[in-house]
Amino acid sequence: MKVRTVRPADELAAEVLRRGAPLWIKARGASMLPFVWDGDVVLVTPTSWTAIGVGDVVCYETPPGRLFLHRVIERTDGRFIAKGDALVSTDVIDRTQLLGKVSAIERHGRITRLDGRRARWRNRMIVSAGRLSPVFVAAAFGLRRAVRAALRG
């Protein structure tokens, strides 16, 4: 999920996070639907590389200075593979690109924490279900075509 399209704001946010301060950021885009909505405000907490696990939602920077929020789906030697929950494409994230981990989401005045045991379990389940989503999407489109054909006669 793209955080902002305005580069100076992204650069400022990245600098604040690199200095070790947590930061509330307004999420923009639909790549993390239904988990993070466009307009949600997320708390990004600078986190060490070793504290990030599969299922965590991370904030990272891609050149030229754009911030993204995506879920870690795989950990490899020195890199993460991340993707938006609503996307099929993935990104490879190096240590230098990582800015922090999303530890809370604020939506309509309600804050949902992501750093508890239950949240970590749920995040891992989302990753597992995400591997099956292309199968479900293909089946849904096939069913939709069949229903439309039947209704047309």
Instruction: Enumerate domains of the chain plus CATH numbers.
Output: 7-152 (2.10.109.10)
21 confidence band (pLDDT: 50, 70, 90): very high
pLDDT given for residue 139 in this prediction: 67
H or E segment to which residue 42 belongs: strand 41-45
H or E segment to which residue 101 belongs: strand 98-107
CB atoms within 10 A of CB 128: 11
pLDDT given for residue 143 in this prediction: 77
2 confidence band (pLDDT: 50, 70, 90): low
pLDDT given for residue 92 in this prediction: 94
pLDDT given for residue 4 in this prediction: 43
Across 74-98, b (16+ Cβ under 10 Å) vs e yields: eeeeeebbbbbbbbeeebebeeebb
pLDDT given for residue 72 in this prediction: 94
Residue 108 has pLDDT above 70, yes or no: yes
Q: What's the mean per-residue pLDDT of the chain?
A: 84
pLDDT given for residue 6 in this prediction: 44
Asked whether the beta carbons of 40 and 105 are under 8 A apart, the reply is: yes
Percent of the chain with pLDDT over 70: 86
Mean of the pLDDT values across residues 20-29?
Answer: 93
Residue 80 has pLDDT above 50, yes or no: yes
Residue 68 has pLDDT above 90, yes or no: yes
Mean of the pLDDT values across residues 44-51?
Answer: 92
